[in-house]
Amino acid sequence: MVFLLNSSNVFDYLSEQKLFNIAERNLAQVELIEAKNFNLLVTLPDGSKLLVKQERHQQDGKAIGEFLGEWQIQNLVNHFSQLESLRAFLPEILTFDLNHSILVFKYLDNYRDGSDFYLKEKIFPPHIPSAIGRFLGLLHRETFDHKVYQDFWAKNSVNSFNYRVTDLIEGLERIPPEIFSVVPADGLKFFALYQKYDSLGKSIAELGQAFTPSCLIHNDLKLNNILLHNNWESSSDKIVRFIDWERANWGDPAHDLGMMIASYLQLWLGSLVMNKSLSIEESLRLAIIPLEKLQPSIAALIKAYLTTFPNILQVRPDFLERVIQFTGLALIGQIQAMIQYQKTFGNSGIAMLQVAKKLLGSPSQSMGTIFGTSEIYSTAV
């Protein structure tokens, strides 16, 4: 029988896990948090909070195993003391119940969603992306070409939910005819444009061939998967925490960086002024959050990454070009998500596709546009 958490039985469950004194039940509070999974926020009598997450079950009563990736990163750090430096940037998991697909976290009350910070504050201090870049450089450097870690990851990963960027690439390479009967009318514009741009398909296929799994990657990097400390003006790298490791996998480090840059670009592309009288180029130029405002943050991200992991440019001389291409691919992934969940592909989607096409097809020429400086990419030449 499937055990499903609810607001009533969560206290008994936490008591069984030795995380709660059932005698204090009347002094604790619980609230439902709307999310993809079933999330309950429990406030204990001392004011501390627990985030209890249960993966949603499918019609057959089984979960697909998304939480295994979340637990795997903790398991890896717990097993290898050499990776202890990663722990300060991870969520604090108190227990993982594989049988019931339940994770219990220490709730980080003094952190906020990174995307929410940028959208509300509309300021772009460079030391925030620098902290992000340093952690990614650390994660990739410490696990790069490390067969012991790779074997441990593969051995302990029984996750059927194993998203890979190559799945997205292969899906774009083989668009089945039946897609046109299930995609909303607006979505058909995307596939029509995609098939029209022959060079775009070739660039994506070439990127798929160049995909080089060589280290542990987060695999789902975006600003709302990064928590920012309320005291973000502190100089400490610990101002950021990386959450939602469900898709973590052995992959290409350029993919992680590309996804992160794409999330910053989404702040620009999501603020376009769309008007029938304006061309796409004019809309891109007149955005409420202009690209020029984001370039220092993107440059800071890359500089911090390369300072932490300089050897990547020796091992992968084309690394920055691949980062730019993966940025374009991530934008296409965002377009597909827009079509799937919002059922729309308007002028803003077309603008995003134009940017993605440029990044995928002309990565070297696009570096100056994205980074805003030649200081970074000149080191890769």
Say yes or no: 76 and 127 in one domain. no
Say yes or no: 272 and 364 in one domain. yes
Does residue 163 belong to any structural domain of this protein?
A: yes
Does residue 323 belong to any structural domain of this protein?
A: yes
Say yes or no: 192 and 47 in one domain. no
What range does the domain containing 47 cover? 9-106
Say yes or no: 367 and 313 in one domain. yes
Does residue 3 belong to any structural domain of this protein?
A: no
Strands 102-106 and 111-113: unpaired
CATH number at residue 160: 3.90.1200.10
Last residue in a domain, options 72, 106, 140: 106
Say yes or no: 66 and 160 in one domain. no
Give the whole-angstrom CA distance, residue 205 versus residue 253: 18
Say yes or no: 19 and 141 in one domain. no
Length of the chain: 381
Say yes or no: 313 and 280 in one domain. yes
Say yes or no: 267 and 339 in one domain. yes
Looking at the chain, list the stretches that DSSP marks H as alpha helix, in order from N- to C-terminal side. Answer: 10-16, 67-79, 114-121, 127-143, 147-156, 165-173, 179-182, 185-196, 198-210, 253-269, 280-285, 291-308, 312-315, 319-337, 347-361, 363-371
Please list the pLDDT of the chain residue by residue as tens digits (381 residues). Answer: 688 899 999 999 999 999 999 999 999 999 999 888 999 999 999 999 999 999 988 777 677 788 888 899 999 999 999 999 999 999 999 999 988 999 999 999 999 999 999 999 999 999 999 999 999 999 999 999 999 999 999 987 754 444 566 666 666 666 666 666 666 677 777 777 777 778 888 899 899 899 999 999 999 999 999 999 999 997 676 899 999 999 999 999 999 999 999 999 999 999 998 887 788 888 899 999 999 999 999 999 999 999 999 999 999 999 999 999 999 999 999 988 888 777 777 888 889 999 999 999 999 999 999 998 766 655 554
Last residue in a domain, options 81, 106, 131: 106
Say yes or no: 95 and 118 in one domain. no
Say yes or no: 189 and 325 in one domain. yes
Q: With contact defined as beta carbons under 8 Å apart, do 326 and 347 qualify?
A: no
Q: Give the pLDDT score at 140.
A: 99
Give the whole-angstrom CA distance, residue 29 versus residue 35: 19
Q: In the structure encoding, which two tokens stand for residue 192, read together?
A: 């029509």
Q: Give the pLDDT score at 160.
A: 41
Q: With contact defined as beta carbons under 8 Å apart, do 128 and 297 qualify?
A: yes
Give the whole-angstrom CA distance, residue 143 versus residue 165: 19
Domain count, the chain: 2
Q: Which residues contact residue 106 at a Cβ distance below 8 angstroms, ignoring those fewer than 6 apart? A: 48, 49, 50, 51, 91, 92, 94
For 101, the 3-state DSSP assignment is coil
Does residue 79 belong to any structural domain of this protein?
A: yes
Does residue 376 belong to any structural domain of this protein?
A: no
Residue 296 CB neighbours (<10 A): 16
CATH number at residue 30: 3.30.200
Q: Which residues pair with 188 in a beta bridge?
A: none
Residue 148 CB neighbours (<10 A): 11
Last residue in a domain, options 88, 106, 124: 106
Q: With contact defined as beta carbons under 8 Å apart, do 319 and 380 qualify?
A: yes
Residue 341 CB neighbours (<10 A): 8
Does residue 381 belong to any structural domain of this protein?
A: no
Q: Give the pLDDT score at 161.
A: 42
Q: Which amino acid is at 263?
A: S
Does residue 192 belong to any structural domain of this protein?
A: yes
Say yes or no: 172 and 307 in one domain. yes
Say yes or no: 173 and 84 in one domain. no
Does residue 380 belong to any structural domain of this protein?
A: no
| Residue 184 φ then ψ, to 5° | -60, 160
